[in-house]
Chain A
Amino acid sequence: MSAAIDLASYAGSDPIFTIAEEVFGAMIDTEPETLREWFGPAPGFGDPTYAWVDVGGESPGRVLLTTERSTATRVTRGLLGLGPDEAVEDADFVDALGEVANVLGGNVKALVPDPGALSLPRVSHAAPDGPVRDLVHELLLDWRGACLVISVWSLP
């Protein structure tokens, strides 16, 4: 899926930001325009959560969402319509983050000509293991002051 995303054809707008904006606006945050690009370098994540899907085919790739666990918990609350003090079950946390990765991945996959099948999502507090080839694209997002990173990788 590597070089197949032709960002130049989107007239200066990042199509992955547009996808993320739609995902947050429709599924996670009822208040409009709470998602923007993060300015500056990414902060280090002390307690990270990783959620990803892989795309098969002749040019396999991975769409990976990385954020702080506390931010991932807030994302889960948003998806489930929970209040800020309501507890989040582990199963719901994994399910919700996986579904965010699934929707991001499915929409990124649509940018690529002739992609293969989308894998089921995976969620972990450890970075995905196994070899990757190249970082194709990285987008840093600011959601209500918290940083989320969407990265697209080509796989061997």
Chain B
Amino acid sequence: MRVLVADDSRVMRQIVIRTLRQAGYDWEITEAPDGAAALEIAKEMDPDLVLSDWNMPEMTGIELLRQMQATGLDIPLGFVTSEGSREMREMAEAAGALFLIAKPFTAEVFRDTIDPFLA
């Protein structure tokens, strides 16, 4: 499984990747430093899943999701973001996101959230 991780924090990308491994996901990971870069990479590599931060420079995560949809990229996207309020979850779901994982997170939260979509 090929996964694109988009976050403007390199440290957080490392933590997300480390947590994916701790959760047991031995996936091929590509990193993007913001939404705009993630969109370009997604067009090139056509990943199986995008895990994206919400609040990023250049292009936010929700803009990335909408841009992918507008350009016909049918790639599932889940948010990994510091904002997990009900309003944000509703906005993410309405935009077509697969899920929203709020930071801070654990490997158990990753498994509980992501596993149902892998079946």
Q: Which of A96, A98, A103, A110 contacts B104 (CB 8 A)?
A: A103
Q: Which of B10, B82, B85 contacts A103 (CB 8 A)?
A: B82
Q: How far is the CA of A99 from the CA of B104 in the complex (A)?
A: 10
Residues of B close to A76: CB separation below 8 A: 11
Query: In which size bucket is the chain B interface?
Result: 20 to 34
> B55 at interface (Cβ–Cβ under 8 A)?
yes
What per-residue 1/0 map shows which CB atoms of A27-44 lie under 8 Å from chain B? Answer: 100000000000000000
Indicate whether A92 sits within 8 Å of B11 (C-beta atoms), given known contacts A22-B104, A23-B104: yes
Q: Which residues of chain B from 61 to 119 have any CB-CB distance to chain A below 8 Å in the complex?
A: 81-85, 102-106
What per-residue 1/0 map shows which CB atoms of A51-89 lie under 8 Å from chain B? Answer: 000000000000000000000000010011100000000
Q: Return the chain B residue nearest A92 by Cβ.
A: B11
Q: How far is the CA of A91 from the CA of B15 in the complex (A)?
A: 16
Nearest Cβ in chain B — how far from A116, in angstroms?
11
A-B contacts at CB below 8 angstroms, number: 57
- Contact between B11 and A110 (Cβ–Cβ < 8 Å)? no
- Contact between A109 and B83 (Cβ–Cβ < 8 Å)? yes
Q: Which residues of chain A from 99 to 119 have any CB-CB distance to chain B below 8 Å in the complex?
A: 99, 102-103, 105-107, 109-110, 117-118
- Contact between B18 and A27 (Cβ–Cβ < 8 Å)? no
Q: Return the chain B residue nearest A106 by Cβ.
A: B82
Q: Return the chain B residue nearest A19 by Cβ.
A: B104
- Contact between B9 and A106 (Cβ–Cβ < 8 Å)? no
- Contact between B9 and A98 (Cβ–Cβ < 8 Å)? yes
- Contact between A92 and B82 (Cβ–Cβ < 8 Å)? no
Q: Return the chain A residue nearest B18 by Cβ.
A: A81
Q: How far is the CA of A106 from the CA of B55 in the complex (A)?
A: 10
Q: Which of A79, A81, A107 contacts B82 (CB 8 A)?
A: A107
Q: Which of A25, A92, A106 contacts B103 (CB 8 A)?
A: A106
Q: Return the chain B residue nearest A96 by Cβ.
A: B11
**Can you give 21 contacting A-B residue pairs, CB < 8 Å?**
A26-B106, A27-B104, A79-B11, A80-B11, A91-B10, A95-B10, A98-B9, A99-B9, A99-B12, A102-B82, A103-B82, A106-B82, A106-B84, A106-B102, A106-B103, A107-B102, A109-B83, A109-B85, A110-B85, A118-B55, A120-B57
4 other A-B residue contacts (CB within 8 Å) besides A27-B15, A80-B14: A76-B11, A95-B9, A102-B9, A106-B83
Q: Which residues of A contact B (CB under 8 A)?
A: 22-23, 25-27, 76, 79-81, 91-92, 95-96, 98-99, 102-103, 105-107, 109-110, 117-118, 120
